[in-house]
Structure 1
Amino acid sequence: PDIRIAFSPDLGGMAQVDAEVLAHLGGVMQAMEAAGAYVEETCPDLPNLERTYHTLRGIGYATSARRMPEAVSKVVKKTIVENVAFGRSLTIDDVADAHLDRTVIYNNMVRLFDHFDVLACPVVGCMPHPQTEEWVSEIGGHKLDGYMDWLRFAFLATTASLPAISVPVGPGPRGLPIGIQLIGRPRGEASLLAAARAVEMVMGGPKPPIDPVTTQP
């Protein structure tokens, strides 16, 4: 496929990734190169991406809870209470900095797309975990501080308001699913879907839904 792929395995060091995920996605990029795509490992400057994401997210939580009925606020889980409290703790300077940094991140991504069609990165940096775990506490040997840390690969497209898609490219060596995230240019949904289709076909797709493993009857 005639596609130019910027590949970032850790979004410039912001997000952690397990060795198994990294090795598998490296193989996906090699397969894409063999099929005719241009692949380069690179990542634009993403200043304060994590802080910007959490600030904008916190504003949303504080807004949602602004007129929440007391009966509802008494039954929400602890993490939501903490998210609302964080949002309410933000200052006007925090909000202003987040919007300014968001603009820089967006502009840097737009410049990236002058040379590439998509930015590829992991969907998440870890392999599937037991469903009994509310959130992943360690990735790639790094202890995580909070329940959002394992979702850092979702911060970029969300913060910059860019189209993104997750493409199944597994299973991995242990038979577990692995996905790759493709982020496209602003209003570039059509070309993003075409790139996703190309990756899907190179990796043996389209893949049928997997049979769920469940203990339910």
Structure 2
Amino acid sequence: MNDIVSLDAIALSKAIHARKLSCVEVMRAYLAQTDRFNPQVNAIVAMQDRESLEALARERDDQLARNQSLGPLHGFPQAPKDILPVAGMVTTKGSPIFAGQITQADAIVYERMRRAGAIFFGRTNSPEFGLGGHTYNPVYGTTRNAFDVSRSAGGSSGGAAVAVALRMLPFADGSDMMGSLRTPAAFNNVFGFRTSPGCVPYAPSDDVFFQQFSVVGPIARTVEDLGLLLSVQAGFDARAPLSRRSDNAPDFARELERDMRGTRIGWLGDLGGRLPMETGLLNTCASALRHFETAECIVESAKIEFDFERLWQAWLDLRSFTFAGVNAPLYRDDAKRAKLKPEAVWEIERGLRLSGEDVYRAVRDRSAWYQAINGLFERFDFLVMPATQVFPFDAALDWPHAIGDCAMDTYHRWMEAVIPATMASLPALCAPAGFGPNGLPAGLQIIGAVQMDLAVLQMGSAYDRASGYSRIRSPLLD
């Protein structure tokens, strides 16, 4: 592995700005790394013309020669997730309906990354419409795990997580509705941060006043690198009316050092037996708790008194309602409906059957859930639980149809562990939790109180310094 791609993102930015590395050298290094590993894992798709990329990199070098820096990502190769639009690049959403579609404008997050100096050299692969926690689609195929290419990369930001783990990108963007940053981070031993709604503007979107579930956030190999990218992504934009305005926005990369002694950690585990877990996973995650104690935190068991089936049903209704609202026109077109995967059809049909009363009941149940989990923050500073219920599974599967002896009744029931944070609009960091008896990665969710994004990253940084799990590299890199 070459020295350039071995650098963390913060060190890479410093080296570029000190002109110890040229942007052309950096681009060539990451393209070479992609050439080496991408054929094995299929993480980065829709690669751009290399001559044009080198020309852009030379332009970045010329700007630095004139003492002009665009920002902390000056000269950084990036590959935006193939869900939100990028100007002048293909945006398929993993669907054959949109195969070859060239979009004309950047999503706000990509506008900001481009303005900070990033050079987009491809897209990262995602499942069709981001549905499901396994990255495969009929346009680009299956993305494979960075630690075992026979296994799933997770999803929906699977391409992003694998590209980061294998040093094909210094860090990457992703999005998260039902664990789409957290599941692939857990599966590939990297960090994925589900930000609070409004922390990063989610636009353009036709439902900017309702969009409360899908968020944009970073994936990285270190918490500090997460903070660097998040500092570029975050902040108010009037085109996203629910984005947060703050006169004292934190520099997420520079404010991570914090004394965590005495911090109270509530261990939620499998929610009192509610969540079926693959053998060895719960024990692997529980063993990682000792690293919070190394950081002199206080770890205790936590329990929430709530009907979790009520929570799940509210989630199903709100998710289907949202997905159907956006995608019903595709369903009503016979030719396009024939190209939708079964899970998309299921979500749309389910959503179209819901009444206004059904949706309002789900909103009330969601509100009740928020009050229940928010009450725990009177006793604890952070809540911790497994990020997934399974280890990376066979990449040839569509999704896990059972966990042990417990059959899954929907295509995403095996991902129920991510619902508590999403339904309460809480920030949640997936941090590496070590490796199971099968040698595959696991991840922990560190969940913070409402809008406490910086505090979650501070806790994640302290945990990472104590555990060291994130420094374990894929055997493919050796």
Does TM, normalized by the shorter one, top 0.5? yes
Q: Secondary structure at the match of 1:60?
A: helix
Aligned residue number for residue 58 of structure 1: 320
Instruction: Measure the CA separation in 1 of the matches of 2:306 and 2:323.
Output: 24
1:124 aligns with 2:388: yes
Greater mean alpha carbon deviation, residues 14-23 or residues 95-104: 14-23
Aligned residue number for residue 7 of structure 2: none
Query: Could you tell me which of 11, 21, 24 is aligned with 2:284?
Result: 24
Q: Secondary structure at the match of 1:178?
A: strand
Q: Secondary structure at the match of 1:169?
A: strand
Instruction: Measure the CA separation in 2 of the matches of 1:92 and 1:13.
Output: 33
Aligned residue number for residue 422 of structure 2: 158
> Cα distance 1:95–1:212, how it changes in 2: closer, same or farther (>3 A)?
farther
Instruction: Measure the CA separation in 1 of the matches of 2:442 and 2:461.
Output: 16
TM-score by length of structure 1 reads: 0.89
Cα deviation, residue 31, structure 1: 3.6
Query: Could you tell me which of 304, 319, 344 is aligned with 1:80?
Result: 344
Structure 2 regions of 5+ residues with no counterpart?
A: 1-259
Aligned residue number for residue 468 of structure 2: 204
Structure 1 regions of 5+ residues with no counterpart?
A: none
Q: Retained in 1: the 8 A contact 2:392–2:440?
A: yes
Q: Retained in 2: the 8 A contact 1:21–1:127?
A: yes
> Cα distance 1:92–1:104, how it changes in 2: closer, same or farther (>3 A)?
same
Instruction: Measure the CA separation in 2 of the matches of 1:92 and 1:46.
Output: 24
Cα deviation, residue 194, structure 1: 1.0
TM-score by length of structure 2 reads: 0.42
Q: Retained in 2: the 8 A contact 1:14–1:152?
A: no
1:5 aligns with 2:265: yes
Query: Could you tell me which of 42, 45, 50 is aligned with 2:302?
Result: 42
Q: Secondary structure at the match of 2:329?
A: coil
> Cα distance 1:177–1:159, how it changes in 2: closer, same or farther (>3 A)?
same
Query: Could you tell me which of 90, 114, 122 is aligned with 2:354?
Result: 90
Aligned residue number for residue 169 of structure 1: 433
Could you tell me which amino acid in structure 2 is paired with residue 119 of structure 1? L
Q: How many residues align?
A: 213
Cα deviation, residue 57, structure 1: 0.1
Q: Secondary structure at the match of 2:435?
A: coil
Instruction: Measure the CA separation in 2 of the matches of 1:188 and 1:35.
Output: 20
Q: Retained in 1: the 8 A contact 2:386–2:417?
A: yes
Cα deviation, residue 34, structure 1: 4.6
Deviations 1:36-81 (A, max 9, x none): 2111111223331111111110111210123337243231111110
- RMSD over aligned CA atoms reads 2.0
Q: Secondary structure at the match of 1:17?
A: coil
Q: Retained in 1: the 8 A contact 2:434–2:469?
A: no
Q: Retained in 2: the 8 A contact 1:12–1:45?
A: no
Q: Secondary structure at the match of 1:40?
A: strand
Instruction: Measure the CA separation in 2 of the matches of 1:53 and 1:14.
Output: 16
Instruction: Measure the CA separation in 1 of the matches of 2:437 and 2:328.
Output: 47
Deviations 1:145-185 (A, max 9, x none): 22111100111111111111110121223321010111111
> Higher relative CO (CA 8 A, sep ≥ 6), structure 1 or 2?
1
Instruction: Measure the CA separation in 2 of the matches of 1:11 and 1:208.
Output: 29
Could you tell me which amino acid in structure 2 is paired with residue 92 of structure 1? G
Q: Retained in 1: the 8 A contact 2:284–2:435?
A: no
Q: Secondary structure at the match of 1:193?
A: helix
> Cα distance 1:199–1:145, how it changes in 2: closer, same or farther (>3 A)?
same
Cα deviation, residue 14, structure 1: 3.1
Cα deviation, residue 7, structure 1: 0.8
1:67 aligns with 2:329: yes
Aligned residue number for residue 15 of structure 1: 275
Cα deviation, residue 211, structure 1: 4.8
Cα deviation, residue 208, structure 1: 5.3
Cα deviation, residue 4, structure 1: 1.2
Query: Could you tell me which of 109, 114, 117 is aligned with 2:373?
Result: 109
Instruction: Measure the CA separation in 2 of the matches of 1:146 and 1:109.
Output: 25
